[in-house]
Structure 1
Amino acid sequence: MEKTDLEKFSENVLRPADAKKAEAAERWAKDLALQPASFGTLEKVACWLAAVQDQCPPKPIERPRLVLFAGDHGIAALDVHGHRVTAQPPGTTAALVRLYAAGGGPASVLARSNDVGVRLVDVSVDCDEAELTEAGVPAEVTAGRVRRGTGRIDVERACTREEADAAFALGRALADAEIDAGADLLIPALLGAGHSTPAAVLVAALTGSDAAAVTGRGSGVDDAGWTVKCAAIRDALRLARPVLADQLELLAVSAGPDFAACVGFILQAASRRTPLLLDGIGATACALLAQRIAFRTPEWCLAAQLSPEPAHRKALDRLSLEPLLDFKIRAGAASGALLALPLVRAAVSVLAETPSYAEADLPEPTVRSAL
């Protein structure tokens, strides 16, 4: 397989959001018949969307799409004296795939209530495909599977370089398919037991942090489990740091196909000027790696929430993204992003439908504050 050329994203594909359009959006917001900074951060959200849509006022979000990248991680099987890096037992990821394929799970409920379409993709779940098929999981869910599970990243590679390349290409193709079908906002998310561990490894490697600074409780491990997880991240970093200069190799060594697919998805969406709503540590770690490939990537991203994972805050800080919500949400599958979506929609609707001072025949304030 021909290796993916990452340089084209940085040099040719990712064009910056129109700075003049962003300035025009800010001027438009200041001219609305509202007290200065009436809606605070939501005004910034509306201006951001106007800039990435290249339209002022911004268009309403009509067809948001959630894409779940499912995968297992070998590090989740690490067991030291009865303590593991995740509180989720083996087989959890396959069970989640069955659940979400049937329309269950909190994210499915939130997606339906917000009129968000969901695509579920088995990238590297550790179970027989026949097992999922017999459980009623549609064939298109497993059609793009790259491999079954991954290696333990504290002692070996997660996957081969060729598998990372294939997953990256899969993610790009999925972004194209969603955008071609009319998606106007994309929500990427990872679904799988133990994925916060490789996510923390990526964040630590890309920000120069040590293991203890990025290790969180994940699915709810106790103190002993946290210690095991921290040691695993420390050991995985020894393998990750030598390959930092090659981003796809880093994905192959320290993350796995589900992460590679998500990174490809984010980059392709940004290259096609489609806004992205980021949720938890998994997708945010992927966006951080995407930034290393193409530094303008964060211009197309909005952070939905801040999870309790310490690596999440580090990643958002490096991306210069401020989360909309801070509800300490641990639920995965982009639940936090789906909770934030109504705020994004409201920001667009309120500002787009508010008249200017001139249109409303109202006197303008004598002092204008910055957004």
Structure 2
Amino acid sequence: MLLTETVNKIGVLDQQAMAKAKERLDNLIKPPGSLGQLERVAVRLAGISGQPRPHIGKRVVIVMAGDHGVVDEGVSAAPRDVTWQMLPTFIKGVAGIGVLARHAGASITVVDVGVAADVDIPGVLKRRVRAGTGNIAAGPAMTREEAVAALEVGIDVALAEIAGGATLLALGDMGIGNTTPSSAILAVLGGYSAGEVTGRGTMINDEVLEKKRQAVARALEINRPNPFDGVDVLAKVGGLEIAGLAGVVLGCASKRVPVLVDGFITAAAALIAAAIKPEAKNYMLASHLSGEHGHGLMLELLGLTPMLHMGMRLGEGTGAALAMHIIDAACRVLDEMVTFEEAGVMDMEEEMLHKED
């Protein structure tokens, strides 16, 4: 099984490469640690790639699309058809992710892993496992077999992009109603109540928010997902695009390729990937802190620090695309700055230590 094979290949960070990267950073013409998170990102990239001076070349945003039966509970202000209607705008590069990915020099791969409408959109990879999930407030989202199949779609797509030369992948999502299953996933894996983790999502009022909280609460009560089994959580209260994105994370981790987590929905996918294989967290980078309620809790569970605080909550991979510039900067600092010795400049910290002696 592809899922098992992939999970078994996921290991730990390369400590030797990280030590070499840190040693170089500490000797660059600056006070140690003075570039803050740029330095931490550079060291993490070294550990992921196994290269003391990592380079980022081809980068790809993978946008997974799927629909959700829980929309029937009135949890979203937008109709279900918006999911498929948005896909051509991604392909044409005129949606938010199109603009920001282009600005970051990234291509976009759009995958239909579970759109409800039977549409054939040029440029969209048609890898549909089923036409949307079931209503999680009334029963499971999908079968366990379907959850595994959707995970393997994500693994396949990630491995294909990596085989084509991708050195950095970013997660993007499209699915009306998908903050509801994401809230349910966070509640299960974080041990929270529905009220603690369910936020407004997109454009909803107090009445719809209450419906959403009730839907999450019923989903947890009816389905009783096992928090110690990531695939069970996914099958019972997850989403098809969430499954696909979790598969992308696992595929990246198996190939030692960094993966940028975007906002609330992609972090739910990251939580599923980490529940399936905890070491997968080693290969994730948090792009930003979403404006969506609960995203910070997700990042805490994953042990990730967001690079950007922009109040963004569009999804699509927009925050991840923006963070690609930070990734580039971290690599360039490590590789292009010179050490005190290379520059022939006195290391002030060393000089002060000599004077104290």
TM-score (norm 2): 0.94
Aligned to 1:109: 99
Equivalent position to 1:25, from 1, 21, 24: 21
Structure-1 separation of matches of 2:224 and 2:188: 6
In the aligned structure 1, how far is the partner of 2:3 from the partner of 2:67?
27
Which one of 36, 41, 45 corresponds to residue 45 of structure 1?
A: 41
CA distance in 1, matches of 2:3, 2:106: 32
Alignment partner, residue 191 of structure 2 = 208
Per-residue CA deviation, residues 66-121 of structure 1 (Å, 9 max, x unaligned), is 1100011111221xxxxx32222231101111221332201101111111011000
CA shift, 1:208, in A, is 0.4
Q: Secondary structure at the match of 1:310?
A: coil
Distance 1:216 1:317, change over 3 A: same
Q: Could you say if the C-alpha distance between residues 239 and 270 of structure 1 is closer, same or farther in structure 2, counting changes exceeding 3 Å?
A: farther
The 3-state SS of whatever aligns with 2:297 is helix
- Which of 57, 78, 82 is residue 88 of structure 1 equivalent to? 78
Contact 2:265–2:315 (CA under 8 A) maintained in structure 1:
no
2:61 pairs with 1:66: yes
Which range is displaced more, 227-236 or 12-21? 12-21
- Alignment partner of 1:77 is 2:72: yes
Aligned in 2, Cα 1:27/1:177: closer, same or farther, shift over 3 Å?
A: same
- One-letter code aligned to 1:37: G
C-alpha separation in 2, matches of 1:298 and 1:246: 16
Distance in structure 2 (CA, Å) of the matches to 1:311 and 1:35:
36
CA distance in 2 between counterparts of 1:4 and 1:51 reads 25
**Deviation (angstroms), 1:4:** 6.4
**CA shift in 2, pair 1:240/1:190, >3 Å:** farther
Equivalent pair of 1:205/1:240 in contact (CA under 8 Å): no
Could you tell me which residue of structure 2 aligns to residue 81 of structure 1? none
Whether 1:170 aligns to 2:182 is no
- Percent pairwise identity: 35
**Is contact 2:89-2:95 (8 Å) kept?**
yes
- Is residue 2:16 matched to residue 1:16? no
Q: What is the DSSP-based 3-state SS (H/G/I as helix, E as strand, rest coil) of the residue aligned with 1:343? A: helix
Q: Secondary structure at the match of 2:20?
A: helix
**Distance change >3 Å, CA 90–CA 293, structure 1 → 2:** closer
Q: Distance in 2 between matches of 1:123 and 1:311?
A: 25
Report the count of equivalent residues.
351
Output the aligned Cα RMSD.
1.7
Distance 2:257 2:162 in 1: 8
Match of 1:199 in 2: 182
Partner residue of 1:277 out of 260, 264, 284: 260
Structure 2 counterparts to residues 259-298 of structure 1, below 5 A: 259-298=242-281
In structure 2, list runs of 5 or more residues that go unmatched. Answer: 352-357
> Of residues 53, 57, 78 in structure 2, which corresponds to 1:57?
53
Whether contact under 8 Å (1:25, 1:57) holds in the other structure is: yes
Match of 1:230 in 2: 213
CA drift at 1:362: 1.0
Deviation at 1:367, TM superposition (A): 6.5
CA distance in 2, matches of 1:115, 1:242: 40
Paired residues for 1:318-337 under 5 Å: 318-337=301-320
Partner secondary structure for residue 109 of structure 2: strand
Distance (Å, rounded) in 1 between the aligned partners of 2:283 and 2:302: 11
Separation of aligned partners in 2, 1:72 and 1:15: 33
Counterpart residue identity of residue 12, structure 2: P
**Residue 171 of structure 2: which of 188, 191, 200 is its match?**
188
- Counterpart CA distance in 2 for 1:73 and 1:143 is 17
One-letter identity of the residue aligned with 1:274: V
Task: Determine if contact 1:121/1:141 at 8 Å carries over to the other structure.
Answer: yes
C-alpha separation between the residues in 2 aligned to 1:320 and 1:157?
A: 29
Q: In the alignment, which residue of structure 2 is the partner of 1:125?
A: 115
Which piece of structure 1 moves more, 348-357 or 239-248? 239-248
Shift of 1:142: 4.7
Q: Which amino acid in the other structure matches residue 57 of structure 2?
A: E
**Structure 1 unmatched runs, 5+:** 79-83
**SS of aligned partner of 2:165:** coil
